[in-house]
Amino acid sequence: YRLNHEISFHPIALGDREGTVSIGFPERHTGGSGVSLHQNSCAQLHDKVELQQITVKRLDDIIDTNVDLMKIDCEGSELEILRGAERILKNHNIRIVLEWAPGFHSPPLSGGEMYDQVVTANNFIARRLTPNQQLEPFNRDDAIQTAHCDILLLRQNKAA
């Protein structure tokens, strides 16, 4: 793949509908910001959180080109982002690298529920990305037993 040098920054959140959302930004744990982050959860980490109102848009409404590769690591908003990318997901060649963390959702999902809503509902197959950069099968049983990992979603005919 060639990278396109036309990169744009959009200071928005992605979701399944337009609107606004309150996002929590922890003072010390900056990589853990998110929609489901509240003052109480940060208090457990002995951290303060700043809440900001952010505009939410659907991915389908801001990207009008074909997407071949997408990386989603959004602290529990994966399902909403995928629901807002219905047109983009129709691309049979798309590959998605996704943070697998059912417990990050609000309310938390079981691994089986997340597998059904992400993998099965979108006709993907999943591969776990191992720490040594290998791909291994990731099925519903694996999803039930796994609290956190990165997975690759791809179509049946593109299985790695």
Provide DSSP, 64-114. Answer: -S--SEEEE--TT-HHHHHHTTTTGGG-TT-EEEEEE-GGGSSSPPPHHHH
% of the chain residues with pLDDT over 70: 82
pLDDT for res 20: 92
Q: Name the nearest CA neighbour of 62 among 110, 18, 107.
A: 18
pLDDT per residue as tens digits for the range 105-151: 777 788 999 999 999 999 999 999 999 999 999 999 999 999 999 99
Task: Please give the CATH architecture assigned to the domain spanning 65-160.
Answer: 2-Layer Sandwich (3.30)
Cis peptide bond prior to 107, omega within 30° of 0 = yes
What pTM, to 2 d.p., does this model score? Answer: 0.81
Burial of 134 (C-beta count, 10 Å sphere; 0-12/13-18/19+): exposed
